[in-house]
Structure 1
Amino acid sequence: MTLTACVGRTPESRRIRIATGSPSGVYYAIGSALGRLSTRELPATQADVMVTAASAENVRLITSNQADVGFTQADVLVSGAGSTPGVAALARVYDDLLHLVVRADGPIKTLEDLKGRTVSVGAHGSGTAVTVGRLLAVAQMSESGVIDRRELGLDDSLQALSRFEIDGFFFSGGLPVAGIKQLNSQSRYRIVDLSKWVGDLRSTYSEVYVVRSVPISAYQTPPVATIAVPNLLVVSSAMREELAFDLARLLMERRDVLAAAHPAAERLDIRSAIATEPVPLHPGAARYYRSVKP
């Protein structure tokens, strides 16, 4: 997978597998654009985009050498023992915001109002499921029977809510989430304020959690504050330095193409990209950022 730069030699071909998420989610939009750029602009490179359950599955695929690049929420990589071994970051891409989506004319106005309701907590293997599991734990709502849980991805959650099969769903993603925006254009839904739980999440689990606002422009709904967590593009620590350098360069130099795929990529910039703590930057990515440091 090394890019050979010697004059007169054909570069060795390399294939990169990019683990994303739901086809209607931010990971897939930006990951697909990155895959097309990699295939088109990096010599002898073929990129394959993988549809997955998102963050937690993506990390598992990378650590088991079944994927080369993956998107993940930072909290998935953090435990009491530190960050996940064998994983390094290419960049901090944007912040994921945790959405709790319910009907605007319904009775659910707070997290506690979910008691006794049927709710999707995110697909098994997703970053949403990790964050929601921690949120319910600090809210003392994680015991069996408090809520009727469903483990649905974004697409299935959208359909289930519109069919009145569930009372609400959680999804963590960059603004705006296309599926949620489309759902709200068809009927009236709202985002529930979850910001009061950030302090408990920070003290119990990790300081990666912060408060961010969902502005009215995102979904044409009243502005609301919620839980946010940094979103990282990660690779195996064993990735060749040349490839990590090339991928970091594409992220920065072709940000316009990525942003055309999804507005969340507009938040990419060198100063924020290197803020991947507690996950270390890959040496190849770090070398790229040093080379373009103002």
Structure 2
Amino acid sequence: MKKSRFSVLFGTVLMTAAITAACGESSDGGTADTGEGSGGGGSASQDLSLLTGGTGGTYYPLGGQIANIISDQTDANITPQTSGASAENMETLRAGEAELAFSQTDIAAYAIEGKEMFEGDPIDNIQAIASLYPETVQLVTTAKSGIKSVEDLEGKTVSVGAPGSGAYINAMQVLEIHGMSDKDIKAQNLSFDESTDGIQSGNIDAAFITAGTPTGAVEALSAQNDVVIIPIADDKIQELVEKYPYYAEDTVPSGTYKIKEDVKTVAVKAMLVASKDVDEDLVYEMTKALYENTDQITHAKGEFITPETALEGLGDMELHPGAAKYFEEAGVSK
């Protein structure tokens, strides 16, 4: 009986050692291939963070859909995160605390060139993946405010966007073209949700919101209020575009937020950026997955996400090599 017990014990020890060794290979060196990645590489999935914006804007819901597409089609596991949007996203990428981010094209350009809120302190570890859709500069108020023009903002309480946000820079530039500044208004630094809540409660009169239309926070406001989008006059649009060439004329169509007529304004572009440290092959696969599965995007801005327009508004920004490889294959160039 002693010999039998020893044999059983020895066999158990050998089996345990074998299992432990196998597990060790998988965890410390990644030599075990799970084959679970759906991107065809068969490698273990890579966890990446995608910085978006506030829940009341466009970045967050659209970012969730893009993250799902990429996670389903590649070996990347993308987690979207709420944030203070463009400028904050650039700083977070600088710090190495995320790998991917949404941004306005103008803010990404400022970050790379060391201008505006990045004055003298350029960010050198970010590259463009693609531009996505127009981000409309919307000056939002309600009929009861009596505000009908940008000039009517004088003396009013106006949200100019979260501190350091793209909306803030846009607001300052629109005011500048009209011979005004934040000194001519009672400026409030609020997020999109806070802005529309403030208009709803009567604490503020109007808000600058730069986002794809329709914007969730403004749609929520329009459910109980007669929303008004203040137009920018043609001559002012021309002045703005001439001085800041990353702007383009845009229109908020009638029916949006229940408005009865088209409203002329301007827009910049929303874009995706990546840290230079993200693997070239992985960025190639992510870019390909996005542009070959846009039919899975149900958000209204999905219709603008096409390879043909993916390099518009990027100017001199450097493309990530992985994205550049995809667009070269697709026959798309600046």
Taking structure 2 as the reference length, what is the TM-score of the superposition? 0.79
Counterparts in 2 of 1:11-26, with a 5 A limit? 11-26=43-58
The 8 Å contact of residues 34 and 44 in structure 2, kept in 1 or not, is answered as: no
For 2:192, give the aligned amino acid. Answer: L
Partner of 1:127: 166
Three-state SS of the structure 2 residue aligned to 1:212 is strand
Which of 271, 286, 293 aligns to 2:308? It is 271
Which of 279, 282, 295 aligns to 1:240? It is 279
CA RMSD of aligned residues (A): 2.5
The 8 Å contact of residues 198 and 211 in structure 1, kept in 2 or not, is answered as: yes
Distance (whole Å) between structure 1 residues aligned to residue 276 and residue 59 of structure 2: 21
Counterparts in 2 of 1:114-263, with a 5 A limit? 114-144=153-183, 146-196=184-234, 197-204=236-243, 206-221=244-259, 222-258=261-297, 260=298, 262-263=299-300
Deviation at 1:81, TM superposition (A): 8.3
Cα 1:269–1:21 change in 2 (3 A) is: same
Q: Give identity over the alignment, percent.
A: 28
Cα 1:143–1:47 change in 2 (3 A) is: closer
Cα 1:67–1:125 change in 2 (3 A) is: farther
Distance (whole Å) between structure 1 residues aligned to residue 186 and residue 307 of structure 2: 43
Distance (whole Å) between structure 2 residues aligned to residue 27 and residue 267 of structure 1: 14
Distance (whole Å) between structure 2 residues aligned to residue 167 and residue 224 of structure 1: 19
Three-state SS of the structure 1 residue aligned to 2:43 is coil
Deviation at 1:133, TM superposition (A): 2.0
Cα 1:7–1:186 change in 2 (3 A) is: closer
- Name stretches of at least 5 consecutive residues in structure 1 with no aligned partner: none
Distance (whole Å) between structure 1 residues aligned to residue 182 and residue 44 of structure 2: 53
Distance (whole Å) between structure 2 residues aligned to residue 31 and residue 80 of structure 1: 21
Distance (whole Å) between structure 2 residues aligned to residue 243 and residue 63 of structure 1: 20
The 8 Å contact of residues 86 and 108 in structure 2, kept in 1 or not, is answered as: no
Please state which structure has a larger fraction of its residues in helix.
2
Which of 46, 62, 79 aligns to 1:30? It is 62
For 1:113, give the aligned amino acid. Answer: D
Asked if 1:63 is matched to 2:94, the reply is yes
Cα 1:139–1:80 change in 2 (3 A) is: farther
The 8 Å contact of residues 274 and 281 in structure 1, kept in 2 or not, is answered as: no
Distance (whole Å) between structure 2 residues aligned to residue 19 and residue 263 of structure 1: 20
Deviation at 1:69, TM superposition (A): 0.9
Please state which structure has a larger fraction of its residues in strand.
1
Deviation at 1:79, TM superposition (A): 4.2
Distance (whole Å) between structure 1 residues aligned to residue 96 and residue 169 of structure 2: 22
Deviation at 1:40, TM superposition (A): 2.8
Partner of 1:280: 318
Count of residues in Structure 1 that have an aligned counterpart in Structure 2 = 286
Q: Which moved more, 1:190-199 or 1:167-176?
A: 190-199
The 8 Å contact of residues 249 and 264 in structure 2, kept in 1 or not, is answered as: yes
For 1:253, give the aligned amino acid. Answer: E
1:110-138 CA distance string (max 9 Å, x none): 11110100010011132111211222233
- Name stretches of at least 5 consecutive residues in structure 2 with no aligned partner: 1-29, 36-40, 115-122
Distance (whole Å) between structure 2 residues aligned to residue 49 and residue 23 of structure 1: 11
1:144-186 CA distance string (max 9 Å, x none): 3x11011111111111100000001110011211221231132
Distance (whole Å) between structure 2 residues aligned to residue 163 and residue 277 of structure 1: 41
Distance (whole Å) between structure 1 residues aligned to residue 324 and residue 241 of structure 2: 28
* Greater than 4 Å deviation, 4+ residue runs: 6-10, 79-84
Deviation at 1:82, TM superposition (A): 4.2
